[in-house]
Amino acid sequence: MVGAGLVVIGIIFLLKNLGIMPDIAWDIIWPIILIVIGLTMIFKKK
């Protein structure tokens, strides 16, 4: 889970540095990421 998240964040930064992805509003996105991680942990089957 953590490894996949780091890969996704790395891809986002790479695309931003290459100019493929425009600047994104991190002040809006990071709480959403935390909520998704929390919901995934709650509903994860054992």
Q: For 11-27, what is each residue's pLDDT tens digit?
A: 878 887 888 877 776 67
Q: Which residue has the tokens 């996704």?
A: 8
Instruction: Find all residues with CB under 8 Å of 15, minimum gap 6, and list them.
Output: 21
Could you tell me the pLDDT band of residue 32, with boundaries at 50, 70 and 90?
confident
Token pair 């942990």 in the structure block, residue = 41
Long-range contacts of 5-11 (CB under 8 A, 24+ apart): 5/37
pTM of the model: 0.51
CA–CA distance, 33 with 36 (Å, rounded to integer): 5
